[in-house]
Amino acid sequence: MATEHIVVVGAGQMGAGIAQVALVAGLRVTLVDVSKEGLAKGADRIRAGLAKLAEKGKLDAEKRKTAEANLATSTSITEVKDVDFAVEAVTENEDLKRRIFQELDTVVKPGGVLATNTSSIPITRIAASTKRPEAVIGMHFMNPVPVMQLVELIRGAATSDETYQKTRALAEKMGKTTVVSKDMPGFIVNRILIPMLNEACFALMEGLGTAEDIDTAMKLGTNQPMGPLQLADFIGLDTCLYIAEVLHKGLGDDKYRPCPLLRQYVDAGWYGKKSGRGFYKY
């Protein structure tokens, strides 16, 4: 079964980005969000992204028109019909994701795929909430989706070879490069990235250097485009803390213990760029 129509659940930055790359790849996309306001903002973000591609000469007028016409929106998963492939991209809340997958189970065609964009929650546990765990897979896009090339594919205990092949083919159709991870806390990217960001928090808390010096040292010393503290601000300190907690709990090793300074900033509501303050002010 060829993938022609996908539903993306969650109209935030990640969901809108996933929908945009799917539209550019020539797919029909239904964007779903329970919030009418959030849904409208997500659709506007997608149209703005398509316009930007057209301005840069990366999308011709006819393809842009087709992409815009292929976008539909809905506030209810159960109202969406003829779905070949689903990508869930809501907040990192396991109970919420499990409820969404129970609904997706009723709308995705037999032989279709139910993918989650989770960055840390075990795929096997999400899959257990459906009647077809073999069709469930992790499809972890990087942020911002239209720019970042990587997609992590995570196979749960029951994920079938057919599900994996369909998901890889879709990611490649979207112009992405894939890697495969076991279903372990943090997968590949966050298993390595979050401890680095967390260690930068410890370095700051211990007075090893200022935020600016720590970031400059890592940018120029390791050829990274962005320092770890600035990157944490862009990811969201609340998200970084959540993933650090998942690693600490799931792997049971104190080397993953979240930095107290990171926890304090989150308690203060300093989530980074999205809140106007984190390790830097925005």
Helix (H, G, I), strand (E, B) or coil at 162: helix
The amino acid at 129? S
Closest by Cα among 38, 6, 1 to 24: 6
Active-site residue flag, 119: yes
Active-site residue flag, 140: yes
Instruction: Measure the CA–CA gap between 13 and 256, rounded to whole angstroms.
Output: 27
Provide CB contacts within 8 A for 136, sequence distance 6+. 101, 113, 114, 115, 116, 123, 126, 127, 130, 156, 158, 159, 163
Closest by Cα among 202, 203, 181 to 192: 181
Rounded to the nearest 10 degrees, how much is the dihedral formed by the CA atoms of 242, 103, 139, 201?
Answer: -10
Alpha-helix residue ranges (DSSP H) falling in 108-188: 123-127, 161-173
Check 5, 103, 129, 152 and give the catalytic one: 152
Instruction: Measure the CA–CA gap between 265 and 262, rounded to whole angstroms.
Output: 5
Check 117, 120, 129, 190 and give the catalytic one: 190
Sheet with 150-155, side-by-side order of all strands = 71-74, 28-32, 5-9, 83-88, 108-116, 136-141, 150-155, 177-181
Check 140, 181, 198, 248 and give the catalytic one: 140
The amino acid at 234? F
Check 119, 120, 129, 181 and give the catalytic one: 119
Contact 105, 128 (CB under 8 A): no
Q: Enter the tokens of residue 213.
A: 């010096």
The residues assigned a catalytic role are 119, 140, 152, 190
